């Protein structure tokens, strides 16, 4: 049984993978990595590697995918399988960086919840944006990460590398998964990765936005199990 390391997204905790954990544990011991301590991808990746099993299957959602690419650059021999969920291999555009810096600037004068709530509201597919239970889950995770953790994570995201040049060298079984209505990292971005990674499998989840593990938990769980069993 292969150990499994999961990396959540920005202002997310282990709760992001809550629906998947019981099934994943049938395939191997699961660790949900902490990614709140460093303010660079390098620092976060090194911390995760220091606490991870010698070899493992690696899955990351959104920011977790950015970190997964950094882990692959640093210790490719330790990663047996890779799952990239609702993420991108591209670096930030200038416009994205400007928007992120704007959020950080607002934190100097506004409450964290006031800054983060519109961000969280825009993550799911339009049909799920009025789902109060889903919003409360996302808000609860953000509050657990906290304002200082959010600042560190945003700085790490801004400074991340362009991972597209590394895609063709990925030779392990890889799943690229995305919600069909993901506005942040849309299906075209996922398709770009899947076409560049040799023998990668692309899974587009219907009726889902950027938080696919919570919006369509059964479909995501099935895709992850198939990835682990392949």
Tokens (6 digits) for 221: 């769980």
Residue 101: per-residue pLDDT: 97
- pLDDT band at 102; cut points 50, 70, 90: very high
pLDDT tens per residue across span 195-219? 999 999 999 999 999 999 999 999 9
- pLDDT band at 32; cut points 50, 70, 90: very high
For the chain, give the mean pLDDT: 97
Query: Residue 61's beta-bridge partner residues?
Result: 85
Residue 7: per-residue pLDDT: 98
Residue 141: per-residue pLDDT: 98
Q: 204 and 176 in contact (C-beta within 8 Å)?
A: no
The Cα–Cα gap between 80 and 199 comes to 14
Residue 153: per-residue pLDDT: 98
Residue 3: per-residue pLDDT: 98
Q: ∠ CA 179-210-123 to the nearest 5 degrees?
A: 140
Residue 200: per-residue pLDDT: 98
Tokens (6 digits) for 158: 């801004």
Is 52 strand, coil or helix? coil
Percentage of the residues of the chain whose pLDDT score is greater than 90: 100
Residue 111: per-residue pLDDT: 96
pLDDT tens per residue across span 153-189? 999 999 999 999 999 999 999 999 999 999 999 999 9
Residue 15: per-residue pLDDT: 98
pTM beyond 0.85, yes or no: yes
Residue 54: per-residue pLDDT: 98
């Amino acid at each position: 049984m292969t150990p499994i390391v999961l990396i959540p997204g920005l202002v997310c905790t282990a709760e992001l993978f809550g629906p998947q954990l019981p099934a994943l544990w049938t395939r191997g011991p699961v660790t949900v990595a902490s990614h709140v301590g460093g303010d660079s991808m390098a620092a976060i990746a090194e911390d995760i590697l220091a606490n991870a099993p010698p070899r493992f299957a690696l899955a990351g959602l959104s920011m977790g995918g950015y970190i997964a690419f950094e882990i692959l650059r640093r210790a490719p021999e330790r990663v047996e399988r890779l799952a990239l969920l609702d993420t991108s291999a591209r670096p930030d555009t200038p416009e994205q960086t400007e928007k992120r810096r704007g959020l950080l600037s607002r934190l100097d004068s506004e409450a964290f919840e006031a800054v983060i709530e519109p961000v969280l509201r825009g993550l799911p597919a339009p049909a799920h944006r009025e789902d109060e239970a889903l919003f409360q889950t996302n808000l609860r995770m953000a509050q657990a990460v906290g304002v200082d953790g959010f600042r560190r994570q945003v700085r790490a995201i801004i400074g991340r590398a362009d991972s597209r040049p590394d895609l063709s060298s990925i030779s392990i079984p890889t799943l690229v998964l995305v919600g069909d209505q993901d506005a942040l990292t849309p299906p075209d971005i996922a398709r770009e990765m899947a076409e560049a990674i040799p023998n990668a499998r692309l899974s587009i989840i219907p009726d889902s936005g950027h938080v696919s593990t919570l919006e369509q938990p059964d479909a995501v769980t099935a895709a992850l199990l198939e990835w682990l069993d392949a």
